[in-house]
Structures are given as C-alpha cells and as structure tokens.
Amino acid sequence: MLIYTEEEIKKCVQMDKEVIQEVETAFTDLETKDVEMPPVMRVDIPENNGEVDIKTAYIPGYEMFALKVSSGFFNNYQLGLPSLGGLMILINALNGKPEALLFDNGYLTDVRTAAAGAVAAKHMANESVETVGVIGAGAQARYQLNALKHVRNFNEVNVFSRTQRRILEFKEEIEATLQVKVNILDSAELVVKNSELVITTTPATEPVIKHEWLHPGIHITAMGSDAEHKQELDSHILKNADVLVCDVISQCEVLGELRSAIEHKLIKTDRIKELGELTTGKYKGRQTRDDITVADLTGTGAQDTKIALYAYKKLTEKK
C-alpha cells in the first residue's frame, strides 16, 4: 500500500480550475451513473466534544474508490492540536485491496468542499458578481473564496465572524492572495445586505442569516451544516428561494439546512434540485437576474472519491 503525507499531497493538489472540474464531474456522476453511496456513518464522542464521520462512494468506471475518515474534536485547541483531521483510503474496486492511504489531515476535504461551493456558484450565481460575503473567517472561508475566484471575478469581500480573534489575519491573507478588498463588517446582516453572493461557513446550530435580509439576485451557499444539530439559514430562506439546490437531497434532509425546513413543513422535496441536475444541464440554476438562489451543501462521498483519485493520479505521476 502506498502512503502519502499531507505535505506530499499539498504539493500535488492545489485549488485550481482542474480540481473544480473534477469535483463538478462528481456531481454529474451522481446524476448520470449508478453511484453506490451509503449514508454517512458517524461516531459521536460527546465527552470529548468529538465526532468522526465516514463517507464513501463507488463511482462505476473508476478502478478505485475512497473511504474517508474525518474527525472534528472541538476541545483540541486546549491540547494545542487542530480540531479537524482525517485521512482517505483508496480501495481497488476490482479486488477490494487497499491501494493507498492519503494521510491528508483533512486537506482534501477542505479542497473538495470549497470546490463544490464554486460549482454551485458557477451554475447558480449571476455572472457579474462583484461583492462576495462570507460568514465565518476560518480555513474553509479562505478555501471557499479561493475556489470562487476561479468561477466569478469578484473584487470585494465582506466578512463577519463571531470570533474576532483572527479576522485581521484573514483580511490580510485574502487581500494579498486574491487581490480583492476585504471589509470587516459588524454583523451577518450587513454582510448579506451588501453582497451579491454569500457563503456561510460556520458550525452554527441556530440560523445566522434571516430571510428578511435577502435581496433580489442574491445567491447563498450554505456549507456549514453537515450534522443533525447544525443550521445556518432561517428555514424561510429555503421556502422562499426561487431555486433551491442540494448536493444530495437524501443527505441534506438529514444533515443539511433542508432538515429544519422539512421538520417545520415549510418545503417539499419535489421542488428541490440536486447539483448534478445543474452540472448536466438538465435544469438551469437561475432563470432571471433577480432570482434568489440557495445551495445546501453537506459534502458527499462522491466528492471524496473524485478528489482522492485526482490526488492519487497527481502523486503517482510525480514519481
């Protein structure tokens, strides 16, 4: 079995158009192929404020598929350790043999998650987005903006974060890497009201965006909720959206923003599209400039298999 470290993987896989294209095909595959993707497995360890998620998907036509283990242990800062971690195993689909261990500490998850945000924006946001808002200023907020820059040429970022501690660092980093102006705002409301596209990247368990803040033409990508207890959007946002797209409806019903909207009987799943229905061109993600569009992303095993296969290709080419 081949084993690769985070450092080796980071050298081979960066956020670029090629990665976004790979992740886009994961959604197309979910729509067009008979992908075997069991529900997410989760182990909760409440006494240590920790959780481990396992995701996987076999996509017919590829010689390997990924099994991903990702961990979030939210007391780790007290131990001087990062909260998030993980690894991926690539398994041979012909004979079951584990072929490679990608010991990426969650890097590939960060990349494929942000790439999915860019895919949603590409198909749903207005072409002319100049101002992007982001709620949360952690690693995933940075990855999302980096990915988005490949599909929308924005020049201004509005950011709000409840934890202010690293927001100046965020501003400096984004201004330097993306050549955009970053405005630190005092509330999520100001961010939403002043941005054409908003990305939520928080672990919130109560809505951080209210529906009355929305304006015509806005696109929202909510990628924070990936568990039964998380929620970033007021459910009326989903109810009133002109276009509502999930990465996978059956998964968003349980883990995503959709869960609460369904619980409150605000929405039926028959009017929701899956992202693969946009990437294949079956449906348009936006009909008019003024449509309000919302993407609910929980992260899929198909993305993990795609990014792992891409990393494997790059890593073995290099040798």
Mark 225-264 with x for binding to a copy of itself (rule: CB under 8 A) and - for no binding.
----------------------------------------
**Rounded CA separation 91/100 (Å):** 7
Q: Which residues contact 143 (CB under 8 A, 6 or more apart)?
A: 15, 110, 111, 113, 114
Please list, in sequence order, all residues whose beta carbon lies within 8 angstroms of the beta carbon of residue 70, skipping any fewer than 6 positions away. Answer: 52, 53, 54, 55, 84, 85, 86, 106, 109
Pairwise CA distance, residues 278 & 31, whole Å:
9
Q: Out of 7, 16, 44, 263, point to the residue binding a copy of itself (CB under 8 A).
A: 44
Question: Which C-beta is closer to a copy of itself: that of 67 or that of 198?
Answer: 67
Determine if 91 is a binding residue for a copy of itself (CB under 8 A): yes
- What is residue 23's three-state secondary structure? helix
Number of residues forming the site for a copy of itself (CB under 8 A) = 40
Distance in angstroms (rounded) separating the CA atoms of residues 26 and 276: 8
Cβ(298)–Cβ(252) below 8 Å: yes
Q: State the minimum distance, in angstroms, from the CB of residue 109 to a copy of itself.
A: 13
Residues paired with 274 in a beta bridge: 246
Binding residue for a copy of itself, selected from 2, 41, 168, 176, defined by CB under 8 A: 41
Of 98, 205, 228, 250, which lies in the binding site for a copy of itself, with binding defined by CB under 8 A? 98
Instruction: State yes or no: residue 138 binds a copy of itself (CB under 8 A).
Output: no
Q: Is 2 in the site for a copy of itself (CB under 8 A)?
A: no
CA distance 156 to 168: 16
Minimal distance, residue 203 CB to a copy of itself, in Å: 15
Tell me how far, at minimum, the Cβ of 238 lies from a copy of itself, in Å: 28
In the structure encoding, which two tokens stand for residue 122, read together? Answer: 């590409």
Choice between 90 and 272, CB closer to a copy of itself: 90
For a copy of itself, which stretch binds (CB under 8 A), given 40-48, 109-117, 125-133, 180-188? 40-48
Nearest distance from C-beta of residue 144 to a copy of itself, angstroms: 23
Interaction mask 46-85, a copy of itself, x per CB under 8 A: -xx-x-x-x-xxx-x----x-x-x-xxx--x--x-x---x
**Whole-number minimum distance, CB 65 to a copy of itself, in Å?**
7
Are 232 and 224 a contacting pair, CB within 8 Å?
yes
- CA separation for the pair 269, 253 (Å, rounded): 9
Smallest Cα–Cα separation from 115: which of 288, 310, 317, 312?
Answer: 310
Residues in the chain: 319
Instruction: Tell me: does residue 45 bind a copy of itself (CB under 8 A).
Output: yes
Beta strands in 82-180 (DSSP E): 84-92, 98-103, 131-135, 156-160
95 binds a copy of itself (CB under 8 A): yes
At 255 the three-state DSSP class reads helix
Minimum distance between the CB of residue 96 and a copy of itself, rounded to whole angstroms? 3
- What tokens were used for 182? 């970053």
Q: Which one among 36, 130, 156, 189 touches a copy of itself, defined by CB under 8 A?
A: 36
Strands 131-135 and 293-296: what pairing? unpaired
Binding footprint of a copy of itself on the chain (CB under 8 A): 1, 3, 36, 38-39, 41-45, 47-48, 50, 52, 54, 56-58, 60, 65, 67, 69, 71-73, 76, 79, 81, 85, 87, 89, 91, 93-98, 101, 103
